[in-house]
């Protein structure tokens, strides 16, 4: 316990000790289980971009959907410090970060929970004891708010909580009632909710600050929120009491450390001061001074705060597998990174790479785990953005200089172009304009909103034929338990066997135990009604672990000709819910026969086992740093996301495929066994993903019996994973695997799409056909260049069509990469030929150029002729493959000089090369020079490529005409 003095200097109380004291208080003194923080990427919750509250990982308990076999289902009282990110979505503090001293995108939430154990009194007493006795915060600086009730909702005031605080000793003048907005917490539009009580702290002290509570005063701040979940908000907005009351509390570590270290700003605590010092060391500006608003000249202190906050967020997100990208949480992280880079470069004047150099500082302060990939990803994204930043800044300045800003606003179209084309977040554009005293049109934010809406609309159109699954709410699940409805026995989904090379699946006869109409449990549904059906047993696989649910149908005893098609199969709280549109009436107690779509199931089994082998192969080829980041197994293909620095090379793709197909060809046995979770985790080389596993857990091993894995304490070179999916019994049924796509989704995360069996064979066959077509094109281009513009354009179009086929047809990805490289080279050659022929067409296909240069000196003429030839060659590509004859006159005598030159374009020693080798066969330069000079009464000499001579004539124009006619006659023979 700490002795605190709030009048003098605060004793040293590091943030790590503040965190440890909280956890120890609940763990050691009040019997709470310490649960590790979950990653900031939500586990199976598409409604969240990031984990933004301590309760996120416990939602399955609150909703009643936790697997009864999992450790989570046994939680009664727990505590933890949860990593949270609030940037995007409902809770978005991104734009406020840096402007003040309190907002953050990343923070830690200290919390304690009770799930059906203690409730209001125990929660309040423990909170008061920790704050006043253990942390030593003076009670006269604390104020408490409670729920005042809401007549419109039919909710009474929480007098029970008020009386508890009075009994604890909180004076009535410091016990304040507030309404729904401040003191009633809800998970969402529907679901668990309840009144809450908050504890507020007065930084000043020695006064009555009751009127400042909940007024956003920087002097009186909320530090702890205790939520009492006792109601369930129904879809019709009515409130019903929950079958089990819970406590959910949350207290921000940053704000608590602020108070306990006697600071007025979170950025002055030891959570941030090491970072601020490190930023100063790499910047070219003054040290951090904590100024805000107009006092912060040049926004230097704002930049310090932005960078310090954002590097924490970037580090924890990247470490947890969220990388900057183009949608969802990845897009938000991309915006955060670009905002940080912009402040580093433009305000703090740091060199490139400075942002990533701050990551090790996070290790010093002990809040985040560090690994090299974090700095690599930040550096790569920073380099990419800096070029865009320079281009965007120039565009903004050019626009500001070219438009009359009578109203001090900026064109929405330009802002949207910056956002769409250069990846500028609109809030960054707004910030850059704000610094110049200019505002965006008010409809710009609407543009962003419309864009988001359109994306969601397109997505909904794609899924318009898919009905949302019928999911039981927490009250219905609790009612099932109250009625004693047993959990669904779905063990039959694993009870299949091989007979003479064919899979045999068990028959399943079941009883309808419960029906759910979307709102409540019912005893009967009529024909045409959509409902959820719960049976005593099932052979259907419910969607989980990345594997698609089974397909099939029911028939009812006594009504075998009526089919009840199963549209969805989901698992909630130990119950398998079959979503069915009833073809006829159905009631509890009915007997049904389940008919499994065996072809669909077997296809999923093939893809799931292939996914495990692919995971093993990737780690074997690329190294143990490869981590699974997601997967999906469907009947037609498999998708696998994994961490890797860059896209795989052609060689690596071939090695991975070869490794997978070697295991397939060996027809290895696939072993599975249910084990206690702790024992399964002891197996070396075990691969897991971040999710809550049941206990006991199913373990799947390829080629090595599970008993051997348990006995062997060395890394085993085989695929071994915790998995609830259905798998093959032998790998040979996969037949073949082809990776048809591999690309980086975001920096550091790659996605593989693969096909198996006949689809893989077809992919290889199509790849060979495309290879032959590319070979044929290569031969045609190398044998002879197109003789006409039409033929050249047809060939270029043919290359383009073939390129599209290679890009979009399922073929081996390694082969696609090779063919794409060859086609790009062919396209460049073809385009060059088209340009030359177009130029010749434009200039009348002139192959002979005869011209005259005036000079008084033979030596000057000799120097001038090469440059004249060069100018002629540059003026039209048509001349590059033709012939040139230039004559120069010397003084009054009119003695002309003939210089006939030829060779390869861009020769180093003779830049004026114009003759092509093929022209030299029909018209050697020496023959032309001799003939022309003879016509002029002189002589010449030289080679087939270069020749010179002299002669005289009173009419040089006639001589030039004769020279051109001579050349045409020779070249056309």
Mean pLDDT of 531-557: 93
In a domain, 174, yes or no: yes
Give the CA distances from residue 368 to residues 17, 162, 378, in Å, rounded to whole numbers and listed in that order: 16, 39, 16
Q: What is the pLDDT of residue 87?
A: 85
Interatomic CA distance for residues 749 and 322, integer angstroms = 9
The Cα angle at residue 678 between residues 677 and 684, in degrees rounded to 5:
100
| Lowest pLDDT segment from 284-288, 829-833, 923-927 | 923-927
Give the CA distances from residue 592 to residues 287, 536, 556, in Å, rounded to whole numbers and listed in that order: 75, 11, 4
Interatomic CA distance for residues 112 and 130, integer angstroms = 12
CA atoms within 13 A on the CB side of 583: 13
Would you place residue 365 in the very low, low, confident or very high pLDDT band (cuts 50, 70, 90)? very low
Question: Helices in 756-891 by DSSP H: which ranges?
Answer: 757-783, 789-808, 813-842, 858-875
| Lowest pLDDT segment from 35-39, 81-85, 847-851 | 847-851
For residue 882, pLDDT over 80 is answered with no
Would you place residue 780 in the very low, low, confident or very high pLDDT band (cuts 50, 70, 90)? confident
Q: What is the pLDDT of residue 276?
A: 95
Interatomic CA distance for residues 237 and 180, integer angstroms = 14
Interatomic CA distance for residues 207 and 202, integer angstroms = 9
Give the CA distances from residue 184 to residues 62, 170, 215, 227, 805, in Å, rounded to whole numbers and listed in that order: 17, 21, 17, 8, 58
Are 383 and 484 contained in the same domain? no
The last residue of one of the domains, among 251, 270, 289, is: 270
Q: What is the pLDDT of residue 885?
A: 62
Contact yes or no for 111/148 (Cβ under 8 A): no
pLDDT tens digits, residue range 552-610? 999 999 888 888 999 999 999 999 999 998 888 999 999 999 999 999 999 999 999 99
In a domain, 692, yes or no: no
For residue 644, what is the domain's CATH number?
3.30.980.10
The three-state (H, E, C) secondary structure of 289-300, written as one string = CCCCHHHCHHHH
Torsions phi, psi for 178 (to 5 deg): -140, 165
Are 32 and 63 contained in the same domain? yes
In a domain, 298, yes or no: yes
Q: What is the pLDDT of residue 889?
A: 52
Torsions phi, psi for 188 (to 5 deg): -170, -160
In a domain, 942, yes or no: yes
In a domain, 677, yes or no: no
Q: Which of 94, 9, 80, 20 lies closest to 50, judged by CA?
A: 94
For residue 584, what is the domain's CATH number?
2.40.30.130
Is position 885 annotated in a ligand binding site?
A: no
For residue 949, what is the domain's CATH number?
3.10.310.40
* Helix, strand, coil distribution of the chain in percent, nearest 5: 45, 25, 35
Q: What is the pLDDT of residue 367?
A: 47
Is position 419 annotated in a ligand binding site?
A: no
User: In sequence order, what are the beta bridge partners of 499?
Assistant: 502
Would you place residue 454 in the very low, low, confident or very high pLDDT band (cuts 50, 70, 90)? very low
Helix (H) or strand (E) run with residue 115 in it: strand 106-115
CA atoms within 13 A on the CB side of 478: 16
The 3-state DSSP class for residue 504 equals strand
Q: What is the pLDDT of residue 719?
A: 92
- Residue found under tokens 């039919």: 154
| Lowest pLDDT segment from 248-257, 728-737, 834-843 | 834-843
The 3-state DSSP class for residue 910 equals coil
Are 118 and 170 contained in the same domain? yes
Interatomic CA distance for residues 5 and 466, integer angstroms = 63
Contact yes or no for 82/111 (Cβ under 8 A): yes
Across the chain, what does the average pLDDT equal? 83
Are 275 and 289 contained in the same domain? yes
| Lowest pLDDT segment from 133-147, 227-241, 419-433, 613-627 | 419-433
Interatomic CA distance for residues 165 and 128, integer angstroms = 9
Locate 112 and state its tokens.
Answer: 């304690």
State if pTM tops 0.85: no
For residue 952, pLDDT over 90 is answered with no
Give the CA distances from residue 900 to residues 845, 848, 921, in Å, rounded to whole numbers and listed in that order: 20, 11, 15
More confident residue, 403 or 124: 124
Q: What is the pLDDT of residue 94?
A: 79
Mean pLDDT of 489-502: 93
Interatomic CA distance for residues 794 and 825, integer angstroms = 17
- Residue found under tokens 């406020």: 96
Are 608 and 506 contained in the same domain? no
For residue 847, pLDDT over 80 is answered with no
Are 490 and 615 contained in the same domain? no
Q: What is the pLDDT of residue 746?
A: 76
The three-state (H, E, C) secondary structure of 671-721, written as one string = EEEEECHHHHHCCCCCECCCCCCECCEEEEEECCCHHHHHHCCCCCCCCEE
Interatomic CA distance for residues 137 and 158, integer angstroms = 26
Q: Sign of the C-alpha dihedral, residues 471, 473, 479, 484? A: positive
Is position 323 annotated in a ligand binding site?
A: no
Interatomic CA distance for residues 866 and 556, integer angstroms = 96
Q: What is the pLDDT of residue 571?
A: 93
Are 515 and 627 contained in the same domain? no
pLDDT tens digits, residue range 31-68? 999 999 999 988 777 778 899 999 999 999 998 989 89
The 3-state DSSP class for residue 254 equals helix
Contact yes or no for 54/82 (Cβ under 8 A): yes
Residues 777-780: contacts with CB under 8 Å, at least 24 apart = 777/802, 777/826, 778/822, 778/826
Are 641 and 763 contained in the same domain? yes
User: In sequence order, what are the beta bridge partners of 697?
Assistant: 675
Contact yes or no for 581/760 (Cβ under 8 A): no
Q: Which of 461, 441, 464, 442 lies closest to 453, judged by CA?
A: 461
Locate 813 and state its tokens.
Answer: 């990805």
Is position 84 annotated in a ligand binding site?
A: no
More confident residue, 401 or 604: 604
- What residue numbers bound the domain in which 764 lies? 597-668+730-842
Interatomic CA distance for residues 212 and 200, integer angstroms = 10
Would you place residue 540 in the very low, low, confident or very high pLDDT band (cuts 50, 70, 90)? very high
Q: What is the pLDDT of residue 917?
A: 42
Interatomic CA distance for residues 736 and 610, integer angstroms = 9
What angle do helix axes 813-842 and 789-808 make, rounded to 10 degrees? 160
Are 40 and 145 contained in the same domain? yes
In a domain, 318, yes or no: yes
Are 648 and 773 contained in the same domain? yes
Give the range with max mean pLDDT: 34-43, 129-138, 800-809: 129-138
The last residue of one of the domains, among 401, 433, 463, is: 463
Question: Helices in 345-371 by DSSP H: which ranges?
Answer: 354-357, 359-364
Longest dimension (CA), the chain: 129
More confident residue, 308 or 440: 308
Q: What is the pLDDT of residue 420?
A: 63
The last residue of one of the domains, among 463, 490, 510, is: 463
In a domain, 213, yes or no: yes
In a domain, 685, yes or no: no
Task: Quote the number of domains for the chain.
Answer: 5
Are 294 and 442 contained in the same domain? yes
Are 566 and 602 contained in the same domain? no
* DSSP result, 901-937: E---TT-SS-TT----HHHHHHS-HHHHHHHHHHHTT
More confident residue, 407 or 965: 965
For residue 28, pLDDT over 80 is answered with yes
Helix (H) or strand (E) run with residue 241 in it: strand 239-252
All residues at 6 or more sequence positions from 617 whose CB lies less than 8 Å from its CB, including other chains: 656, 657, 659, 660, 663
Q: What is the pLDDT of residue 848?
A: 66
Q: What is the pLDDT of residue 880?
A: 39
What angle do helix axes 813-842 and 650-665 make, rounded to 10 degrees? 140
């Amino acid at each position: 316990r700490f002795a605190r003095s709030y009048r003098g200097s605060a004793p040293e109380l590091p943030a790590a000790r503040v965190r440890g004291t909280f956890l120890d208080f609940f763990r050691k003194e009040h019997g709470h289980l310490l649960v590790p923080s979950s990653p900031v990427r939500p586990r199976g919750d598409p409604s969240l971009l990031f984990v933004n509250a301590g309760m996120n990982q416990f939602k399955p308990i609150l909703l009643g959907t936790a697997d009864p076999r999992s450790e989570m289902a046994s939680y009664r009282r727990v505590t933890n410090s949860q990593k949270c990110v609030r940037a995007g979505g409902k809770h978005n503090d991104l734009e406020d970060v840096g402007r003040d001293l309190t907002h953050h995108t990343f923070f830690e939430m200290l919390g304690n929970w009770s799930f059906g154990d203690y409730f209001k009194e125990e929660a309040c007493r423990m909170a008061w004891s920790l704050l006043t006795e253990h942390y030593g915060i003076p009670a006269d600086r604390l104020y408490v708010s409670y729920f005042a009730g809401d007549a419109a909702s039919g909710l009474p005031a929480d007098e029970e909580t008020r009386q508890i605080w009075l009994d604890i000793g909180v004076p009535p003048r410091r016990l304040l009632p507030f309404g729904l907005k401040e003191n009633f917490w809800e998970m969402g539009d529907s679901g668990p909710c309840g009144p809450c009580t908050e504890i507020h702290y007065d930084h000043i002290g020695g006064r009555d600050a009751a009127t400042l509570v909940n007024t956003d005063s920087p002097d009186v701040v909320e530090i702890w929120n205790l939520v009492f979940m006792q109601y369930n908000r129904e879809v019709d907005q009515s409130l019903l009491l929950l079958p089990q009351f819970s406590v959910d509390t949350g207290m921000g570590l940053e704000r608590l450390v602020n108070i306990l270290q006697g600071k007025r700003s979170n950025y002055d605590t030891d959570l941030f001061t090491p970072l601020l010092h490190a930023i100063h060391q790499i910047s070219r500006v003054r040290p951090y001074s904590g100024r805000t608003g107009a006092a912060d000249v040049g926004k230097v202190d704002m930049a310090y705060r932005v960078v310090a906050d954002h590097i924490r967020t970037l580090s924890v997100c990247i470490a947890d597998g969220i990388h900057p990208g183009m949608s969802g949480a990845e897009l938000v992280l991309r915006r955060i990174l670009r905002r940080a880079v912009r402040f580093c470069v433009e305000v703090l004047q740091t060199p490139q790479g400075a942002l990533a150099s701050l990551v090790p500082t996070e290790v010093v302060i002990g809040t985040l785990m560090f690994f090299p990939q974090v700095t690599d990803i930040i550096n790569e994204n920073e380099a990419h953005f800096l070029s865009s930043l320079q281009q965007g800044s120039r565009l903004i300045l050019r626009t500001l200089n070219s438009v009359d800003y009578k109203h001090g606003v900026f064109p929405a179209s330009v802002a949207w172009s910056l956002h769409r084309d250069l990846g500028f977040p609109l809030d960054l554009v707004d910030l850059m304009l704000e610094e110049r005293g200019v505002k965006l049109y008010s409809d710009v934010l609407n543009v962003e909103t419309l864009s988001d809406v359109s994306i969601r609309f397109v997505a909904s159109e794609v899924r318009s034929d898919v009905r949302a699954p019928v999911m039981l709410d927490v009250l219905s699940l609790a009612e099932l338990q109250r009625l004693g409805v047993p959990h669904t026995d779905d063990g039959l989904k694993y009870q299949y066997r091989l007979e003479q090379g064919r899979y045999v699946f068990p028959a399943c006869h079941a009883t309808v135990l419960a029906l759910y109409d979307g709102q409540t449990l019912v005893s009967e549904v009529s024909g045409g009604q959509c409902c959820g059906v719960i049976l005593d047993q099932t052979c259907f696989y419910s969607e989980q672990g990345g594997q698609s649910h089974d397909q099939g149908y029911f028939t009812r005893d006594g009504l075998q000709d009526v089919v009840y098609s199963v549209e969805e199969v989901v698992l909630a709280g130990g119950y398998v819910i079959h979503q069915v549109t009833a073809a006829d009436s159905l009631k509890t107690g009915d007997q049904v026969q389940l008919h499994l779509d065996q072809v669909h199931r077997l296809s999923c089994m093939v893809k799931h086992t292939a996914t495990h082998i692919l995971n093993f192969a990737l780690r074997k080829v690329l190294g143990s740093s490869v981590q699974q980041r997601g997967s999906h197994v469907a009947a037609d293909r498999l998708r696998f996301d994994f961490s890797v620095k860059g896209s795989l090379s052609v060689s690596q793709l071939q090695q991975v495929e070869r490794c997978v197909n070697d295991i397939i060809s060996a027809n290895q046995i696939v072993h599975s066994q249910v084990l206690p979770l702790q024992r399964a985790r002891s197996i070396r080389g075990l691969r897991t993903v971040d999710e809550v596993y049941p206990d006991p857990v199913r373990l799947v091993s390829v080629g090595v019996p599970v008993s051997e894995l348990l006995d062997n304490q060395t890394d085993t070179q085989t695929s071994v994973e915790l998995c609830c999916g259905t798998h093959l019994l032998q790998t040979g049924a996969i037949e073949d695997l082809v990776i048809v796509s591999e690309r980086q989704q975001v920096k550091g995360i790659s996605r593989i799409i693969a096909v198996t069996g006949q689809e893989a064979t077809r992919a290889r066959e199509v790849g060979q056909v495309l290879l032959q077509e590319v070979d044929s094109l290569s031969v045609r281009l190398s044998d002879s260049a197109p003789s006409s513009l039409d033929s050249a354009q047809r060939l270029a179009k043919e290359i383009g069509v073939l390129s599209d086929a290679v890009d979009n047809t399922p073929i081996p990805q390694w082969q696609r990469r090779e063919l794409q490289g060859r086609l790009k080279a062919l396209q460049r050659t073809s385009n060059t030929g088209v340009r030359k022929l177009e130029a010749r067409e434009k200039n009348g296909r002139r192959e002979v150029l005869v011209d005259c240069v005036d000079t008084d000196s033979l030596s000057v003429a000799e120097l001038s002729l090469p440059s004249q030839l060069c100018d002629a060659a540059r003026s039209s590509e048509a001349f590059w493959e033709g012939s040139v004859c230039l004559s120069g006159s010397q003084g009054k005598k009119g003695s002309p000089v003939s210089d006939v030159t030829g060779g390869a374009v861009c020769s180093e020693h003779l830049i004026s090369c114009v003759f092509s080798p093929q022209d030299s066969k029909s018209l050697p330069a020496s023959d032309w020079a001799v003939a022309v000079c003879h016509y002029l009464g002189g002589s010449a000499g030289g080679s087939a490529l270069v020749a010179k001579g002299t002669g005289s004539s009173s009419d040089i124009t006639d001589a030039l005409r004769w020279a051109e006619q001579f050349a045409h006659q020779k070249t056309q023979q």
